[in-house]
Amino acid sequence: MIRKAIKSDYPLLSKYYAEFLDNDVELFETDPFSRLFVYEDDFKIVGFVNYSIIYDRAEINYIYVDKDYRGKHIASEFMELLITDAIDSGCHNISLEVSEKNKEGIALYEKYGFVKKAIRKNYYPNGDGILMVRELINNE
């Protein structure tokens, strides 16, 4: 089940963030554009999505699913949630940055109609980043 994240979720989410970040920067400072949702299975948080809707565009910041729960379509549920939210909010497109080495992530985004728009050389400490975009033509 997907629900909005609450402050008591932050310690566990910090642990998940640490799996792909090299520091302990507080990432839960919210702004009026940020949205943070978690996925619960049997009262256990097993993933989260963090994205922003900034006027007429959306940007995916993070999608994470615990390794023991991957392959269960949780990331797909997050994608459907955020795409619906972006359309309902009147966004023209959704963009994201992904490591060129994240093959599973790239496949997920392509499944949902995202296309590679640019390569950002040395964007990540271990390689290049790929800018991907999905246009929401006629809010679809």
Question: Which positions are catalytic?
Answer: 97, 109
The residues pairing with 97 across neighbouring beta strands, listed in sequence order, are: 131
46 token code pair = 């097993």
β-strand pairing of 44-54 with 57-65: antiparallel
Q: Give, as one character, the DSSP assignment of residue 71.
A: T
Give the number of other Cβ atoms within 10 Å of residue 89's Cβ: 16
Where is 11: in which H helix or E strand? helix 10-18
